[in-house]
Amino acid sequence: MNRPESVAGAPLLLPFLDLLSDAVLVLDAQARLQFVNPAAQRLLGCGAGARLDQLQPMLGDRALHWLRGALAGRAGGDQEQPFTRPDGGRLSLALRPIDARQWALRLRLEAAPEDDLPAAARPMLHAASSDLLRLVWDAPFPAVLLGPDGRLLDANPAFVEFSGFARAELIGVDPIDLQPEEDRAAARA
């Protein structure tokens, strides 16, 4: 594929994998929740406007401490981080920037027998939120949906405009192939 000049030097924003099944939250610089998708609403029991501290019963102290550090730039948030929940179960967090003032947090419960999960978390296992998909589709920032093999299943209009490719040209592409040559070489090294 020929890379358009509009992509060269610009990082690809891939906010989240598994958009329809994971709990997704958007946090502002004051660690206040700006958006909570339905899966997260059911799991955490709080919505937009809540503060980060209100997630403590589900996340636990260590996860909350890591999250505060990541928001403040003291810890790498982009890599998925595993934690033990207060109830003994496991979860993982990943934090990625949307822009200079907002971050998106993905919260995933580790695979476990359903009986081992708190009752509030069970609906999340089968959540398929068309509301979230519409939100991402209409988002002003570029977003894509990745398949299990890491290739693009779909791209929202903002990503299509950003990339310079037609939507049909993006389907099935490995995201690394859209990055500048020097970035591809570094990523594959």
Strand partners, 96: 104
Domain that holds residue 163: 1-20+128-189
Low-confidence ranges of the chain (pLDDT < 50): 1-20, 111-131
The reply to whether 32 and 80 lie within a common domain is yes
Q: How far apart are CA 10 and CA 148, in angstroms?
A: 25
**H/E stretch holding 125:** helix 122-125
Last residue of a domain, one of 86, 111, 126: 126
Say what the pLDDT of residue 12 is: 37
The reply to whether 100 and 51 lie within a common domain is yes
Give the pLDDT confidence of 33-81 residue by residue, as tens digits. Answer: 877 776 677 677 777 788 888 888 878 899 888 888 888 776 555 667 8
CATH number at residue 153: 3.30.450.20
Measured CA to CA in angstroms, residue 131 lies from 38, 58, 144, 173 at distances of: 8, 24, 16, 26
**In total, how many domains does the chain have?**
2
Mean pLDDT of all residues belonging to the chain = 67
The reply to whether 86 and 177 lie within a common domain is no
- pTM for the model: 0.48
The reply to whether 96 and 74 lie within a common domain is yes
